[in-house]
């Protein structure tokens, strides 16, 4: 049957490369015996008079295990492709800003940013105590922005973590600063007190 033969060859071309990715398995002896009996029955002139062979239990059918093996191989290939894509994906850009006091140049905080993920404001030295009735506020201002954006209040000695989605932008030379403000923060949406620490980001 030429049509059947063509289909067989087509499936061989599709499935044969998969055999190079899995270890070969030795069929159980009973499988070969059943194949021989089936071939003998089909080729014998008196095969029509012979009783039909007993049905093979579903868990012993070769086609079932071939299908399961093929599905497992296909799943492994798909997972491998996903892992390769992740390995080849570029790492998100990372930025660092060193915040220093404008007068003495002492480093007080570090700003660490991973694009698309998270910002960390990390204290690196023991900051002076905040005067009673005042609070620290964290700001950022991208290049070209008309005004800074508040990123919330800061507690001395505490790390601040923010999702990057709260920032107006993430870029090199972006300004970050900490100012001294009234309780609850600036009442006008922009810094009102002195700048205690300031710095700009550099891309790592």
pLDDT at 184: 92
Which pLDDT score, from 0 to 100, does residue 15 have?
A: 74
pLDDT tens, residue order, the chain (204 aa): 888 878 887 777 777 666 666 666 777 878 888 888 888 776 666 545 555 566 666 556 666 666 666 666 667 666 766 666 666 666 788 999 999 998 877 889 999 998 888 999 999 887 778 899 999 999 999 999 999 999 999 999 899 999 999 999 999 999 999 999 999 999 999 999 999 999 999 998
The predicted structure's pLDDT at residue 3: 84
| pLDDT at res. 89 | 62
Helical H segments across the chain, by residue range: 2-15, 29-43, 62-88
Decide the pairing of beta strands 94-100 and 107-114: antiparallel
At residue 169, the pLDDT reads 93
| pLDDT score of 32 | 80
What integer pLDDT is reported at residue 50 of this predicted model?
A: 56
* CA–centroid distance for 88 within its chain: 12
180: helix, coil or strand?
A: strand
**pTM for this predicted structure:** 0.56
* pLDDT in the model for residue 86: 64
Specify the pLDDT at position 6: 80
Distance CA 150, CA 176 (A): 10
pLDDT value of residue 199 = 94
Q: What is the pLDDT of residue 25?
A: 72
> Is residue 151 within 8 Å of 167, Cβ to Cβ?
yes
pLDDT of residue 44: 65
Q: Are 88 and 76 in contact (CB under 8 A)?
A: no
What is residue 34's predicted lDDT score, i.e. its pLDDT? 84
Give the pLDDT of residue 165. Answer: 92
Query: Whose CA is closest to 57, among 36, 34, 78?
Result: 34
């Amino acid at each position: 049957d030429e049509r059947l033969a063509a289909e067989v060859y087509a499936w061989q071309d599709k499935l044969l490369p998969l055999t190079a990715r899995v270890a070969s398995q030795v069929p159980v002896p009973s499988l070969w015996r059943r194949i021989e009996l089936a071939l003998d029955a089909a080729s014998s002139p008196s095969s029509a008079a012979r009783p039909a062979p007993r049905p093979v239990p579903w868990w012993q059918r070769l086609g079932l295990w071939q299908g399961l093996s093929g599905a497992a191989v296909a799943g492994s290939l798909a997972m491998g492709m996903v892992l390769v894509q992740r390995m080849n994906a570029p790492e998100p850009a990372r930025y660092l800003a060193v915040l220093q006091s404008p007068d003495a140049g002492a480093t007080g905080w570090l700003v660490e940013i991973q694009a698309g993920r998270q910002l960390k404001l990390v204290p690196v030295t023991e900051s002076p105590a905040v005067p009673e009735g005042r609070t620290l506020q964290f700001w950022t201002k991208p290049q070209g922005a008309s005004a800074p954006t508040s990123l919330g209040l800061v507690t001395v000695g505490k790390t601040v973590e923010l999702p990057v989605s709260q920032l107006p932008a993430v870029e090199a030379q972006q300004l970050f600063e900490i100012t001294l403000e009234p309780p609850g923060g600036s009442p006008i949406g922009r810094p009102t007190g002195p700048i205690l620490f300031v710095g700009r980001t550099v891309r790592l």
